[in-house]
Structure formats: structure tokens, C-alpha cells
């Protein structure tokens, strides 16, 4: 599974699809600006919302669920990676949330 750093995601978020797979109550605490919220349990039924032509970066709280999501998306034909450290690392880096 390919992982990328929060710094890489911050640069790439303007061109890549960022998919936040956390649950509603977690997302209420803030997400990466421009990210699409698709809880992990809904991912398989909502892949039509994603563009196969654009890379996908999956995000969760710490990185475990997003790794599973990236594996699922890769199996579905997407170029998918996971953000190392999740939103914990994003916030620790002082990066913006919406």
C-alpha cells in the first residue's frame, strides 16, 4: 500500500481527489478543505462519485481505515494512496481544516 505524507497531500489536494472515510461525528471536527466525505462502510457503493482518471488519496483519523479504503479503491481500478498518520498528523502539522 502506497502512503504519502501530509505535506504531499497538502500540495496535491488541488489536483487529486481526497476522500475522507471517517464517520460523520469525526468529520464534524474538521476535514481537509475540498475533501469528499464517504464513510468507509459506504465506499463500495459510492465509487461512482469518484473520477477514475484522477488519483485518490484516502484519509481517516490515524491511517488504518484509510489504508483499507485505498486497497479497496485500488482493487476497483483507481490509483489510490493513503495519507500517513491521518487527520492526527494533519492537525499536528498545523494544516487547515474546514
H/E segment holding residue 67 = helix 64-75
60 among known catalytic residues: yes
Catalytic one of 35, 57, 60, 69:
60
In our burial notation (b when 16+ CB lie closer than 10 A, e otherwise), range 63-87 reads: bebbbbbbebbeeeebbbbbbbbbb
Catalytic positions are 60
Amino acid at each position: 500500500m502506497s502512503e504519502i505524507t501530509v505535506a504531499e497531500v497538502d500540495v496535491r489536494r488541488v489536483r487529486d481527489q481526497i476522500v475522507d472515510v471517517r464517520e460523520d461525528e469525526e468529520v464534524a471536527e474538521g476535514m481537509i478543505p475540498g475533501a469528499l466525505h464517504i464513510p468507509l462502510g459506504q465506499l463500495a457503493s459510492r465509487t461512482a462519485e469518484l473520477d477514475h482518471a484522477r488519483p485518490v488519496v484516502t484519509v481517516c483519523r490515524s491511517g488504518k481505515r484509510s489504508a483499507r479504503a485505498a486497497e479497496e479503491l485500488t482493487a476497483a481500478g483507481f490509483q489510490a494512496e493513503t495519507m500517513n498518520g491521518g487527520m492526527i498528523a494533519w492537525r499536528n502539522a498545523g494544516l487547515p481544516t474546514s
